[in-house]
Structure 1
Amino acid sequence: MGVRTMQSARVRTIQAVTFLLCLAAAVISYKLLAKHVTGSSGSAWFDAGCRAASEEAGGADCQAVLESPYSYFPPKREGEPPGRPHTPVALYGLLYYSALGIWVAGIGRPSRRWRWIHLIPLLLAAAGLIASIQLTRIMFTELEAWCPWCLATHILNALIAVGLVLLWPWKPPVQPVEPVEGEAETPADERTERTSTGPSVWRVLGTLAVIALAVYGHRGQYGAMVAKQTGALLQRCIAQVKTLRQDPKQLMRFWASSPQQEILIRPDDPFKTRAARDEPVLDVVVYSDFQCPMCARFARFFEGEAQKLFGGRLKLIYKHYPLDAECNPLVMRTVHAGACEAARLAEAARILGGRDAFWKVHDELFRLQRAGHRGRTYDVEALAALIGVKPETLRVTMDLPEVRKRVEEDIRLAQTYGVHATPTIFIEGRRIHPLATTSAAFWDALADAFWKRIGAPRPPETKPENWNPLGKNAATPGTPGPKDAP
């Protein structure tokens, strides 16, 4: 066998081995990516290799490594602003090994004339080796566990780099050729260059196109994994939310364990109750926004259902917290455009016509919102007619400094109580869980505790005839009453 034949066989062997190393590393990276996103690689043999070899710190545990901040690039940092993009390192590995494998299969070893093109995979491999060294250092010095499969990819990366170096077109030995009589002997270097053929331009372009398609496809696979996992998590969250909304004991426990705060209630704060003057009531403070759909739902639920459970003995006190950057400096961006103007309209109505006028405008603003009204402008003429004042009077009043100051003061106080969203509801100074806002089961259990606290039997009419939250008595024996909560 000639020297050239032996060299060609050796090059083909190195090319094949290097490609297989790239393929193995790409498969491992794909499995690591799947485990990173979903918690399972989908293969028992792979997951078995990931399981902890030791229960002690420093044992093998792929999942712990994949859940660390360093499993992303850039790494996740504590306290960083939300929304910063982070890509799993396993995805970068999948793209990296796939690109190198396609290059080795498509281009392989170029001729000496085209040797410069081999710098592309060599430089990429050099960058990959630096990343492997850094990630290995982090895994063994900063994390409490190490990942066998991650280490395997780093070892394969080093072997791939060796293969790429061996594929560099070093100057080959040339067999002596007998000169033809009458012709000068051709130098060896020139004979080599004449017989060397590099990859064609189309071959290079085709290889790059396949790499681009692989990158696009792998990113699509990652997106599909994330979407599928997000959908599954969403379904579990929805199921848990439904369960929690119907669990009065949990919701009551959350309310009873919330710290009690002294909510400032001014003498002229708008409130409403159906209780007689001498009847005990339960104070409910709501921080609300007239453009907030959930606030509108709560307003309807409160009047239509909650009050009935207490025989009208709930006292609702309204506070402003518009999620509109026009008047609320505590929101990062405007969520409900026009909420500030709506708050000023309601406050102007209170100044002009007292609590009754406020609640008329309150109900009308929420009715308009449910009807689809969005934006920063309202029909001042219609609202003025509703409370019996002139439109110009309402316009002038809503722009008074005292009106703006009242809304701003509600917002400032809301911050001290930890209010960040609407509706936020406090019952006798204790915040309720957001899921309890319109949970009939929670309000029914709270009514049981209220009637027990005031020492009066619960009137039959306060319990809806055809409603039973959990198919059994919704009362929660042992749950603290509003005044007895710890």
Structure 2
Amino acid sequence: MENISSSQRNGLSEWFRRRSSMLVDYNPAAGPYFTGRRPFLILLVLALIGTFAAGFLTYRHLILVSNTGGVPESALCRAQGNINCDAILMNDYATILGFVSSSALGLMGFVFVLWIVLNGLWNERMRKIAWTFLAIYFFAAIGFSWYYIYIMMFVVDYICTWCIVVHAVNFSSLAVVLVVAIKNKDNFLLKEISTPGERFYFVTLGIALALLSFAVATALEKMLVVEDMHVKYEELANDPAVIAAVLKSSPSYEIPVSPNDPVYGSPSAPHNLIFFSDFQCPICARTEGYLKKIVSVNQGVINLVYKNFPLSTECNSSVLGNLHPMACPAARAAYAAFLLAGSKGFWSYGDKLFESQKLLNKNPWLQFAQTLGFDTSRFERLLEPQSQAAKKIEEDVALGIKLKLNSTPQLFFKGKRIPENFRGPYLVEALEELAKAENPDDKDFRLKRP
């Protein structure tokens, strides 16, 4: 091992020695160091255009996700046909890892480019190292551009004009960088004339400015999102164009529905609204009541399919804490009612559970079964951990984990997850948009409002 390490070190040292021997001294009489000002001026213009475009997209993204009032259409990007900047900014691909705004990331990149270009203009000694950084940056930026161009063309079916401006700036800038680099390839062998101090401030301050711009935009967005969560989602949900765009571009899921699932409404209804719920969840109780009203006024058109996702560590390994400790036995009890009396028995028993959430810690399972006239001996056997009811809960929880659920209630319709901002009075609009997307010929499809 020592011989191999020594050989590697000797080879590396030899490479650096040969490289150093190829470097030549800079002769001021031969002209500007590395290149003149013109390429930097061209990149400055492109960077300013890119900064404006990315800045506008970042600003618009902040407005869309945080404005509690109405969000007026932007004069800089009016929705027309497939051209819809807002639809692009509000789809699932507008953030990286669900947190990092792609528009803020682009703004950070252009701030970094402006810093590099301005340094190259002001300080001739920094031009070679500046051009090296520009080449590295734009090669990376082109990768992002290709990805988002693909998303626009083949995934979301919407086009953002200012996004195209950003991508065009990236491609144009890379072309300029490559042309100048090839033309001045011999000048890359010039010895570095900038001082270590200049290089240090160039790199550290450039990175700091870029990160600061990104941090400010991201922190502002998250702060406004937390502050205005409730109202902003209601405003977005009131815009049918945004509803259609967001739902159309969201991921699709395959959620099986079988005769083993409790159904509210006609089992033969053509449209299934799938409801993942927890009987110890207060919001689930209110949501279920509203969903039943939608089904009741649209008999034979839509039904409600119940799936279990108790937020309890007893039967759900995906939850971190035992938020609802009685949710698992409550789910088994409700499904036992289904096995004994079908969907009608399930919903009657479920109503009892929701109405008596504060009493669930007293294990009222048999009492409720007796009140509803069930065979209590059979009912009690179905409450056991290895019963048919328990296995059904396991199946539902496994499906919920596969769908990456982490809370309740959760709604799915036509394979699409209904975001929380489309709940309440605007849920019906979301259901209509998804139904029409599945069957474009039925443009006049309407659901009655409860």
Shorter-chain TM-score range: 0.3 to 0.5
Structure with the greater alpha carbon radius of gyration: 1
Return the TM-score normalized by structure 2: 0.48
Return the TM-score normalized by structure 1: 0.45
